[in-house]
Every structure is written in structure tokens, then in C-alpha cells.
């Protein structure tokens, strides 16, 4: 029997509890941050609330944090529970230990707008400093919640999770949805059979099954109703320069209470000193996380509005801007960008919009051309065509090439359909 010792040098990022708390605060929008701070004030005597008005509310109903000419109350927000609230309501904190509950909260906060999870169980385990087995167990618990498909890695995984709920899963369906989804959707059955050996009959059955499923599990939480949202950031353009203001003036004088700090510090009992130390550390962590949120959001949004200045001021097409590109430019992680952008509205000189809408990826063939620009050029070409002889997708592809935008004919058709424009035969008059 041989015993071999082997050293393996590897790098991994491990976040402290303070860093995790800071990221969670960063991901909060204005309303969530207000509720978070109010709860912390109720739980921690060392946190001193802002000066109360007669309504005894941290944020009076008639309080207007921004007095500029442009009104920010022009974007409706959902009255119903958010996806995060809906998922947390299905969990019973009492049945979980502290590590499990923290992991579940972290995973839910990591979901994107489609309800997909953009990190693996192994990555979550490394970030939270828990065992991979526990992280995997929490991911499985997340994927068992309603709506079906939430917590999936991607669209194929989302559809397969829904089939599992319906008891229609099998190995062939797993292969089709996780490795052949694009070919399956395009009807390239012969290609799939050559690659996987799965018969066309099974492929047709799989296609028929997934047509009854919901590819967007978070869509039901993306509706708009009558309540109005307060922007998280207010951007102004004056004398050729952008300025950004974090819309959290309601926080005002939140800080460490001098009175309670003096009283608790003076009490010599060990249990009081332990309580004082723990509460003081928590209060300092909360205040530090909020200040880091302010600094990160201010720097990030300044980069974004300067990059998209032509769009925000003159309604020109969006320029290419990705999370990865901005992360490299600011020398921070892509996941930090994702959390900072999550569910944040910004008020600009033209309108109030979701911050995420200012990001658009570049086309692979032409790095200086964004999808938004290509869509605009395509829309203009169709608008100016001869209605008696409308342009085919092939002709549109060639016209786009003359404009310096190289796209496949299939991509042109996909873009045309995304604009709600029918084919050439249907456009003919």
C-alpha cells in the first residue's frame, strides 16, 4: 500500500461576513434599504433614528427627497410581492440553522431578473465559507420553490426542472434541454440525432412537452400597477458634466446613539458589555455597508451615464456596455456590478428608467455596434422600404452590411421578430 502526499496550490476568493452584508445592502433598492434600516433601528438601541416628524415615520408620506423641476413620480412599480419576498415567504426560518438561512437568502439575492441563478453551488460555498454539500442542498431547496423553474442555471435547466415537477423527466430530455436546446428549437432534428443518437420521435415529444412550460419563471413578478416608484439615483447634466445623487436623504441623521453608547459603556456587568460590543459592531457594520453602497453606486452610475450620454440626452441608440466591460473599467468584480444594478431606477434629464436598461452587449462581428443600434438601423430600413416590394431578410442582411453591421440572415430574422415586425410577405401592400 502506497501513501502519497501531494501539495496542490490554488486560489479562491473567500468573503467575510462583513463583505457579504455589504453586497446584500448594495443590491437593495431604495424601498428595500428603507425597510432594512428601519428594522435595524428597531432591533438595535445603539442605532439612532432620524428626527421623527409627527407621523412617527422614518419617511413621511408627504416627504419629497428631490425638489428639482423634473418629477420622479412617473414610473409605476409593482404593488404585489417581489420574487424575493415570494420565495422567502415559502421558507420556514425555524426549520433551518443560521448557515442554511444565510445561504438561502444569499442565493435568492443572487437571482437575476429571469429568476435564474448565476453562480454554482461550489461558488456559493466558497463565498459563504460553507461546505459544498450544504450549498448544493440549499440550491436544491431553492429550485423546489414556486414558481417552478426558479433557481435554474439557464433556460434549458429551467425547462427541465419544470418537467421534473410534472414527473416527465428522463435522460433523453435532460440531454436535449441541457446540450441541444438551440438545435431543438430550430427544428434541426437530424443534426441532434447524429450527435446524440436520440430519435426524432423523442425530440418531437420533448418539444411538445416544453411548449406547455413557462420559460420565464419570474415574469409574473414583473408587472406594473398604480403605485409609483422613487428613483434610487438622480442624474443631472449641467455645463457639460454629469452629476449623480443617491436618493436616500430620508436617512438623514441615522448614526450611533451617544446616549445609549454612554449608558451601555458605563455598565460594568459582563453580560451588558458583551451585548454592547455585539450591538456596536452590528451598528458600525450597517452604517459602513450603507456608505459603501453610496460610494459604489455613485462611481458606477457616473461611468454608465457618461458612456450613454448621447442616449440620455438626445435619444441616440445605446452604445455597447456590458457588466464585464464596466467591471474591468472600474476594477471591480462583475458580480458586484450585477448586484449594484439590480432593481435600481435612475432619474435622468429625459425620463426615469431601470439602470439595467442602459446595458447592451456588442455584436460579435462589429464590436463598436450594439444590439440596440442594429435594431434601430433595421427598423429604419424597414420603415423606408417600398411597401409594394418589401425587403426580405436576405436583402435586409445585405443592406445592414452596407451600413457596416454584419449579421447572419437568421439573426436578422430574429431581430425583426423581436421588433414585432412580420415577414416580407405579410408586409406587402
Give per-residue pLDDT as tens, 379-391. 888 888 888 888 8
Confidence of residue 137 (pLDDT cuts 50, 70, 90): very high
* 3-class SS of residue 352: strand
Task: Identify the DSSP state of 250.
Answer: G
Integer Cα distance of 225 and 244 in angstroms: 28
- Higher pLDDT pick, 346 / 126: 346
Confidence of residue 327 (pLDDT cuts 50, 70, 90): confident
Integer Cα distance of 287 and 296 in angstroms: 14
Per-residue model confidence (pLDDT) at position 160: 92
Per-residue model confidence (pLDDT) at position 253: 64
Per-residue model confidence (pLDDT) at position 14: 47
Confidence of residue 304 (pLDDT cuts 50, 70, 90): very high
Neighbours of 315 (CB within 10 A): 9
Which positions ≥6 away from 423 have C-beta within 8 Å?
393, 413, 416
Per-residue model confidence (pLDDT) at position 171: 92
Integer Cα distance of 64 and 231 in angstroms: 12
Q: What is the CATH number of the domain that holds 384?
A: 1.10.10.60
Per-residue model confidence (pLDDT) at position 123: 80
- Mean pLDDT (whole number) for 251-272: 79
Residues 188 and 103 in one domain: yes
Residues 345 and 280 in one domain: yes
- Mean pLDDT (whole number) for 80-91: 81
Confidence of residue 11 (pLDDT cuts 50, 70, 90): very low
> For residue 298, is it within any domain?
yes
Per-residue model confidence (pLDDT) at position 226: 41
Residues 113 and 191 in one domain: yes
Q: Which three cell numbers stand for residue 70?
A: 423634473
φ, ψ of residue 307 to 5 degrees: the values are -65, -40
Integer Cα distance of 66 and 247 in angstroms: 8
Q: DSSP alpha helices (H): ranges in 332-408?
A: 334-341, 371-383, 393-402
Residues 209 and 343 in one domain: no
Neighbours of 172 (CB within 10 A): 16
Residue 155 has pLDDT above 60, yes or no: yes
Residues 97 and 209 in one domain: yes
- Mean pLDDT (whole number) for 26-32: 83
Q: Count the helix, strand and coil residues of the chain and give each as a percent rounded to the nearest 5.
A: 55, 5, 40
Per-residue model confidence (pLDDT) at position 1: 46
Confidence of residue 370 (pLDDT cuts 50, 70, 90): low
- Mean pLDDT (whole number) for 9-17: 53
Per-residue model confidence (pLDDT) at position 126: 77
Confidence of residue 362 (pLDDT cuts 50, 70, 90): low
Which positions ≥6 away from 268 have C-beta within 8 Å?
none
Residue 132 has pLDDT above 80, yes or no: yes
Per-residue model confidence (pLDDT) at position 114: 79
Decide: 77 and 224 in contact? Cβ < 8 Å: yes
> For residue 414, is it within any domain?
yes
Decide: 147 and 160 in contact? Cβ < 8 Å: no
Q: DSSP alpha helices (H): ranges in 144-254?
A: 155-165, 171-179, 181-185, 189-196, 200-210
- Higher pLDDT pick, 133 / 373: 133
Task: Identify the DSSP state of 230.
Answer: P
Give the whole-number percent of the chain exceeding pLDDT 90. Answer: 14
Task: Identify the DSSP state of 85.
Answer: H
The bridge status of strand 352-354 relative to strand 241-246 is unpaired
Residues 212 and 269 in one domain: no
Residue 64 has pLDDT above 60, yes or no: no
- Mean pLDDT (whole number) for 414-428: 79
Last residue of a domain, one of 222, 255, 276: 222
Confidence of residue 219 (pLDDT cuts 50, 70, 90): confident
Residues 251 and 206 in one domain: no
> For residue 287, is it within any domain?
yes
> For residue 14, is it within any domain?
no
φ, ψ of residue 241 to 5 degrees: the values are -130, 145
Residues 217 and 237 in one domain: no
Per-residue model confidence (pLDDT) at position 139: 93
Per-residue model confidence (pLDDT) at position 227: 46
> For residue 63, is it within any domain?
no
Residues 208 and 88 in one domain: yes
> For residue 70, is it within any domain?
no
> For residue 12, is it within any domain?
no
- Mean pLDDT (whole number) for 272-283: 87
- Mean pLDDT (whole number) for 160-175: 90
Per-residue model confidence (pLDDT) at position 303: 92
Cis peptide before 380 (omega within 30 of 0): no
Per-residue model confidence (pLDDT) at position 46: 85
Per-residue model confidence (pLDDT) at position 72: 36
Decide: 200 and 178 in contact? Cβ < 8 Å: no
Per-residue model confidence (pLDDT) at position 63: 32
Prediction pTM value: 0.49
φ, ψ of residue 371 to 5 degrees: the values are -60, -40
Residue 301 has pLDDT above 90, yes or no: yes
Residues 207 and 250 in one domain: no
- Mean pLDDT (whole number) for 13-17: 59
Residue 70 has pLDDT above 50, yes or no: no
Residue 69 has pLDDT above 50, yes or no: no
Residue 349 has pLDDT above 80, yes or no: yes
Last residue of a domain, one of 186, 202, 222: 222
Last residue of a domain, one of 153, 188, 222: 222
- Poorest-confidence range of 30-34, 46-50, 280-284? 46-50
- Higher pLDDT pick, 416 / 73: 416
Confidence of residue 369 (pLDDT cuts 50, 70, 90): low
How many domains does the chain contain in total? 3
Residues 214 and 237 in one domain: no
Residues 256 and 338 in one domain: yes
Residue 141 has pLDDT above 90, yes or no: yes
Integer Cα distance of 318 and 325 in angstroms: 15
Rg (CA), the chain: 26
Integer Cα distance of 194 and 191 in angstroms: 5
> For residue 176, is it within any domain?
yes
Residue 365 has pLDDT above 50, yes or no: no
Per-residue exposure over 2-38, b if at least 16 CB sit within 10 Å of its own CB, e if not: eeeeeeeeeeeeeeeeeebbbbbbbbbbbebbbebbe
Q: Which three cell numbers stand for residue 378?
A: 433595421
Integer Cα distance of 327 and 336 in angstroms: 8
Residue 15 has pLDDT above 50, yes or no: yes
Give residue 253's domain range.
233-358
Q: Show the CA angle centred on residue 334, arms to residues 328 and 336, nearest 5°.
A: 115
Element spanning 277, H or E: helix 270-307
φ, ψ of residue 21 to 5 degrees: the values are -60, -40
Amino acid at each position: 500500500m502506497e501513501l502519497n502526499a501531494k501539495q496542490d496550490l490554488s486560489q479562491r476568493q473567500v468573503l467575510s461576513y462583513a463583505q457579504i452584508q455589504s453586497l446584500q445592502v448594495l443590491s437593495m433598492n431604495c424601498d428595500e434599504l428603507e425597510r432594512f434600516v428601519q428594522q435595524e433601528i428597531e432591533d438595535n438601541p445603539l442605532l439612532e433614528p432620524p428626527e421623527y416628524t409627527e407621523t412617527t415615520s422614518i419617511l413621511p408620506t408627504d416627504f419629497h427627497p428631490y425638489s428639482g423641476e423634473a418629477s420622479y413620480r412617473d414610473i409605476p412599480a409593482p404593488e404585489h410581492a417581489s420574487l424575493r419576498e415570494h420565495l422567502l415567504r415559502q421558507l420556514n426560518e425555524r426549520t433551518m440553522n443560521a448557515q442554511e438561512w444565510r445561504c438561502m437568502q444569499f442565493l435568492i439575492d443572487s437571482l437575476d431578473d429571469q429568476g435564474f441563478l448565476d453562480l454554482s453551488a461550489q461558488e456559493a460555498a466558497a463565498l459563504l465559507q460553507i461546505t459544498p454539500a450544504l450549498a448544493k442542498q440549499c440550491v436544491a431547496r431553492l429550485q423546489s420553490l414556486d414558481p417552478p423553474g426558479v433557481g435554474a442555471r439557464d433556460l434549458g435547466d429551467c425547462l427541465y426542472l419544470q418537467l421534473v415537477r410534472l414527473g416527465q423527466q428522463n435522460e433523453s430530455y435532460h440531454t436535449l434541454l441541457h446540450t441541444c436546446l438551440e438545435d431543438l428549437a430550430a427544428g434541426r432534428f437530424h443534426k441532434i440525432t447524429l450527435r446524440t443518437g436520440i430519435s426524432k420521435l423523442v425530440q418531437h415529444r420533448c418539444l411538445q412537452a416544453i411548449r406547455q412550460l413557462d420559460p420565464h419563471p419570474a415574469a409574473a413578478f414583473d408587472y406594473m400597477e398604480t403605485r409609483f416608484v422613487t428613483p434610487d439615483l438622480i442624474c443631472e447634466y449641467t455645463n457639460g458634466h454629469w452629476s449623480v445623487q443617491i436618493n436616500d436623504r430620508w436617512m438623514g441623521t441615522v448614526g450611533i446613539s451617544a446616549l445609549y453608547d454612554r449608558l451601555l459603556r458605563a455598565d460594568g456587568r459582563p453580560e451588558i458589555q458583551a451585548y454592547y460590543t455585539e450591538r456596536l459592531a452590528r451598528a458600525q457594520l450597517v452604517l459602513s455597508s450603507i456608505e459603501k453602497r453610496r460610494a459604489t453606486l455613485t462611481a458606477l452610475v457616473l461611468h454608465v451615464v457618461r458612456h450613454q450620454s448621447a442616449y440620455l440626452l438626445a435619444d441616440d441608440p445605446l452604445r455597447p456596455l456590458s457588466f464585464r466591460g464596466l467591471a474591468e473599467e472600474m476594477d471591480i468584480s462583475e458580480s458586484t456590478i450585477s448586484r449594484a444594478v439590480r432593481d435600481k431606477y435612475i432619474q435622468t434629464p429625459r425620463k426615469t428608467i431601470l439602470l439595467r436598461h442602459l446595458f447592451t452587449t456588442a455584436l460579435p462581428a462589429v464590436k463598436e455596434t450594439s444590439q440596440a443600434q442594429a435594431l434601430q438601423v433595421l427598423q429604419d430600413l424597414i420603415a423606408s422600404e417600398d411597401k409594394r416590394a418589401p425587403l426580405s431578410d436576405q436583402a435586409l442582411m445585405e443592406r445592414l452590411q452596407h451600413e457596416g453591421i454584419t449579421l447572419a440572415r437568421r439573426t436578422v430574422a430574429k431581430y425583426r421578430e423581436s421588433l414585432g415586425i412580420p415577414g416580407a410577405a405579410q408586409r406587402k401592400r
